Chain A
Amino acid sequence: MIEIKNYSIGFNGKELLTGCNSAFHSGTLTALIGRNGAGKSTLLRSIIGLESRYCGDIAVDGVSVKSMSPRERARRMALVATRRERVPGLTCRQAVELGRTPYTSWSGALSEADHSVVDEALESVGMASYASRRIDTLSDGEYQKIMIARALAQDSGILLLDEPTSFLDQPGRYGLCRLLAGLARERGKCIVFSTHEVDVAFEICDSIALIVPPDLKCMSADRLSESGLMEKHFTTEYVTFDPVRKRIVGKL
């Protein structure tokens, strides 16, 4: 589980988030939502250890992230980023095998056990038949699944995804979120993903973390839809949040 204690961060003299306290538990799928620039990516990067310029503490399974070595962090947390990386010549299987690096020897050679983990990871995202294909030849949705398989192969208790649904079509978005929900429930993983798809978040996630600058509010989807916070922060002259349909709708 992830514990965020008194977390504050800011850039260029501006405070982004101040004194945030929250916890993300194992076996749950949490959506991190907020307006653009609210700090969703920053928070995820702080948790995984890519961003360390913050005050306060982030602890994973009781251990402070800042005190962990890169390898320890890699064994506890895995990341799937938004951007698609071009890696010519890499097969899907090789991409997933990279997820095993926190466990392999100096040369990176995989053991039998490592290969089973890789096979299983490809199976769970439904991409086993794509193993020998090059990742350059995949569609965005297929690529995203391979990157999730890579993160699964890392065998970490925590999975963080930064806007994984950005480049997917509507069916793809639902499919991905259902996949993540299944992984959280069946494997007891703590999965946090940032997204702009508020409707998908409310429909599929156990809990939702809303960035209400400079604070972070985390609660169950039902409580959040009734709290009035969504209306407060997502209402502009053109749109507002509908608590019944649990989505952002246009104003007439």
Chain B
Amino acid sequence: MPDIRINRISVSVAGLGVLTLMLFLCDIGSGAVAIPVGEVWKAMTGGACDESVRAIILDIRLVKALVALMAGAALSVSGLQMQTLFRNPLAGPYVLGISSGASLGVALFVLGAPLVGLAGRWMWLGSAGAAWLGSVTVLVLVSVISARLKDIMVVLILGMMFSSGIGAIVQILQFLSREDALKSYVLWTMGSLSTVTSAQLAILVPAIAAGLVLALLTVKPLNMLLFGEEYALTMGLNLRSARGLLFTSTTLLAGTVTAFCGPIGFIGLAMPHVARMITDTADHRVLVPASMFCGAASVLLCDILASSFTLPVNAVTALLGIPVVIYVLFKAAKG
């Protein structure tokens, strides 16, 4: 194996890692309140500084930066898994209906429960819990059906149909609800990295970490799936456990992010392609870590822009992601 190629790839991935770290630090340093770098450093390293500054840096910005880092890595890896499993460059983390399930859960919680007077009883669940329940329910339904279906394309279409059906139900709920509940829901759909508390972080980080560990285990099955499921079967892949592993990993990754941050679009779709372009390989042993870094770096960048200009995250990810998607489409059309 030509050594030059391996070195190029190692350098690219290492470079992406360094970029991610730098953006992480930049994200901590940026926000609506201008705080000089020296103060940021003192707050992080336990030096002497103003208590309010320490509170902003550690309780708000550090948490937000960690969320951005994990969310980006999670969505990007999940998107990569779905693109390879479905052999579709336009697949993303939400093709199985995770985002729709989450939106149904949140819609029922924020819009539906008040309508039937159940609001008080379900408060403990929180919108994050409701979103998680919704995602898992849709995932279980899709998994049960996929176990009976040989053709993965049918599973893809089913996921999309579920999403559409759920979208219709959510629209009805929106139509029937009060202004304040409606705005609450709509704000959720815009995505937010700053509504995660330190307590919630204690759930988010392990859940995504678990998803990423599983994702490492999916590296070999994903490589085997490059030529399609039939070839993978003839090479010894246990399709049932591979699908199960992939679905579980993706739910932990995309489901957790959506539960705590709302549906964040485009990262999962665009970043695997950026990873492919930078590392120039189809080998998932390289693509999984590369996607992690590309995803983390891009969401950190989006957060830096969003918090500097006080914009919703989804708007920024769309503006960043759409040019990438268009570029991918053009490249695919040419070749």
Interface, chain A (partner B; CB < 8 A): 48-50, 69-75, 77-79, 81, 85, 87-90, 93-95, 98-99, 101-102, 104, 106-109, 115, 132, 136, 154
Q: How far is the CA of A101 from the CA of B234 in the complex (A)?
A: 10
Evaluate contact between B236 and A102: CB separation under 8 angstroms: yes
Q: How far is the CA of A101 from the CA of B242 in the complex (A)?
A: 14
Interface, chain B (partner A; CB < 8 A): 1-2, 5, 216-217, 219-220, 223-224, 226-228, 230-231, 233-239, 276, 280-283, 285, 335
**Given the complex, which residues of B lie within 8 Å of A88, measured CB to CB?**
282, 335
Which residue of A50, A87, A93 is within 8 Å of B227 (Cβ)? A87
B120 to chain A, nearest CB (A): 49
Evaluate contact between A108 and B285: CB separation under 8 angstroms: yes
* CB within 8 Å: A-B pair count: 78
Evaluate contact between A48 and B224: CB separation under 8 angstroms: no
Which residue of B2, B219, B239, B276 is within 8 Å of A132 (Cβ)? B2
Evaluate contact between B224 and A78: CB separation under 8 angstroms: no
Which residue of B216, B219, B224, B233 is within 8 Å of A50 (Cβ)? B233
Q: How far is the CA of A183 from the CA of B160 in the complex (A)?
A: 47
Evaluate contact between A108 and B223: CB separation under 8 angstroms: yes
Q: Which 8 A-B pairs have the closest CB atoms?
A: A74-B236, A108-B220, A89-B282, A71-B236, A102-B236, A90-B282, A79-B234, A70-B236
Is chain B's interface secondary structure helix, strand, loop, or mixed overall? helix
Which residue of A74, A94, A132 is within 8 Å of B235 (Cβ)? A74
Q: How far is the CA of A136 from the CA of B334 in the complex (A)?
A: 13
B276 to chain A, nearest CB (A): 6
Which residue of A79, A90, A94 is within 8 Å of B231 (Cβ)? A79
> What 11 new A-B contacts, CB under 8 Å, besides A50-B230, A108-B224, A154-B235?
A70-B236, A70-B239, A73-B236, A74-B236, A90-B282, A98-B224, A98-B226, A101-B220, A101-B237, A115-B1, A132-B5
- The verdict on A94 contacting B236 (CB below 8 Å), with A108-B220, A132-B2, A136-B335 known, is no
B83 to chain A, nearest CB (A): 11
Is chain A's interface secondary structure helix, strand, loop, or mixed overall? mixed
**Given the complex, which residues of A lie within 8 Å of B283, measured CB to CB?**
94
**Residue with the highest number of chain A CB atoms closer than 10 Å, among B5, B224, B282, B285:** B282
Q: How far is the CA of A94 from the CA of B280 in the complex (A)?
A: 13
Q: How far is the CA of A78 from the CA of B230 in the complex (A)?
A: 12
Q: How far is the CA of A70 from the CA of B231 in the complex (A)?
A: 12
- The verdict on A81 contacting B231 (CB below 8 Å), with A101-B224, A104-B220 known, is yes
A68 to chain B, nearest CB (A): 10
Q: How far is the CA of A94 from the CA of B237 in the complex (A)?
A: 17
Evaluate contact between B227 and A98: CB separation under 8 angstroms: yes
Evaluate contact between A87 and B282: CB separation under 8 angstroms: yes
**Given the complex, which residues of A lie within 8 Å of B239, measured CB to CB?**
70
